[in-house]
Chains A and B, each alone.
Chain A
Amino acid sequence: MAEAAAHHDEGKSQYFWVWAALLVITVVEIVLAYKQVLDPLHMLGVLMVLSIIKAALIIAYFMHLKFETPRMKFLLMASVTACLCLMCVFFADALRVLHLGVK
């Protein structure tokens, strides 16, 4: 672990690359919003995929989770992903409300 920490401290260039990648992805998102080339559903899908990529870059490099132990990586990411996925159960109800026209 100490070796890994020492290794990833050697160059700061990787952080500039990650920062540049995050900016480029953000620009892509903004261009998509301005051009309005996709219908809302596809737009949502593309934006969510890009956001998850950005989140993964931030967590892995800026928050250094990439350099933590496999146990820590798995416990943290599995638990938060499971909890957030469980919240999706409410979307079925939102669609039901929409179809029923409940005010």
Chain B
Amino acid sequence: MADAAIHPPAEAGAFEPPFLGAYSKKVGMWLFLLSDSLTFGALLFAYSYGRLSVPHWPTPFGAHSIANASVMTACLLSSSLTMVLAVLAARRGDSKWQFNWILATMFFGTAFIVLHAMEWAGLIHEGLRLPIFAEPKGAAEAAGELAQAAQTVPQFPATFFGLTGMHMLHVTIGVVYLGVVALRKKFIPILLGLWLVGWLMLPADSPFKYGIHVLLLCAVVAAIIVWLRPKVYDAHDVEISGLYWHFVDLVWMFIFPLVYLMSTKI
């Protein structure tokens, strides 16, 4: 009886193959990405609905903004290439190149975030802001074109900042995710250091003064995960993180033309 319990059944097909032909973590990530695509789909549809229903939709993106967004797109596309190379390195057991390619992906992702934040700062400085936020003191730009557009078409800043902010949040979480996969516990103090420096250095009227707390939240969640379940992340984990990263890239392939290229002022 004991032997029967220990030995696996001999007959073929006793262990049923997975329904979708993939390991459970991968199926789980795909299902999450499916639900997340609906979140971004809803935001993109909200933006498009506003654009269709408002006759004079602002077109604030000049040649400089388009050039900036193009570089951001190139950064994300290049990060997807380095990510897939990291997955390949993980599959062949090359931990050194797996680490290097993940770091390269994080570099491109961070470049994207910095460029995007600079663009946001420029637009906010020119007067594009949500109605709930007060005008800055002595704002000479309050009569500017973007400030007027924000007042007459409040749907534009609401959907623009909502959509691109959600995407920026996803990229930030993606960089943290990759950092944890590559560096594990060592990444937590780096994250906390970045949060502290950012919080102290950013000016008080910057929206990123509050946004930087995302790094603190990520550090707490990552710390809980790596301390409760410490492990060396294997090729499957790298592939799962790659799926998330490519999804972030994929979403931008729709935001870039719909939001930027369709609203050019050249």
Contact = CB atoms under 8 A, between A and B. Distances in A.
B66 interface: yes
Given A36-B266, A75-B20, A87 B261 contact: no
Q: Place the interface of chain B in its size category.
A: 35 or more
Interface string A25-44: 01001101110100010011
Contact of A80 (B21, B34, B49): B34
A26 B19 contact: no
A15 B85 contact: yes
A59 B37 CA distance: 13
Interface in B190-214: none
A63 B246 contact: yes
A71 B66 contact: no
Q: Place the interface of chain A in its size category.
A: 35 or more
A76 B30 contact: yes
B77 A95 contact: no
Interface stretch (B4-12, B219-227, B248-256): B248-256
A72 B21 CA distance: 7
Contacts of B1: none
Interface of B, secondary structure class, is helix
Given A1-B21, A68-B21, A68-B22, A51 B37 contact: no
Interface in A6-61: 9, 12, 15-16, 19, 22-23, 26, 29-30, 32-34, 36, 40, 43-44, 47-48, 50-51, 54-55, 58-59, 61
A69 B22 contact: yes
A26 B48 CA distance: 21
A95 B53 contact: yes
B49 A47 contact: no
A34 B261 CA distance: 9
Given A33-B266, A63-B246, A72-B20, A83 B38 contact: yes
Interface of B: 19-22, 27, 30, 34, 37-38, 41-42, 45, 48-50, 52-55, 63, 66, 70, 73-74, 77-78, 80-81, 83-85, 88, 91-92, 239, 242-243, 246-247, 249-250, 253-254, 256-258, 260-262, 264, 266
Given A34-B66, A51-B253, A93-B49, 18 more contacts: A1-B21, A9-B91, A19-B80, A22-B80, A23-B74, A33-B66, A33-B261, A36-B264, A50-B257, A59-B246, A62-B83, A63-B250, A69-B21, A71-B21, A72-B21, A90-B45, A91-B45, A95-B52
29 contacts: A12-B85, A12-B88, A16-B81, A19-B78, A29-B261, A47-B261, A55-B250, A55-B253, A58-B80, A58-B249, A62-B246, A62-B249, A63-B242, A63-B246, A68-B22, A69-B20, A69-B22, A72-B20, A72-B21, A75-B20, A76-B34, A80-B38, A84-B41, A90-B45, A93-B49, A95-B52, A98-B53, A98-B54, A102-B53
Interface of A: 1, 9, 12, 15-16, 19, 22-23, 26, 29-30, 32-34, 36, 40, 43-44, 47-48, 50-51, 54-55, 58-59, 61-64, 68-69, 71-72, 75-76, 79-80, 83-84, 87-88, 90-91, 93-95, 97-98, 102
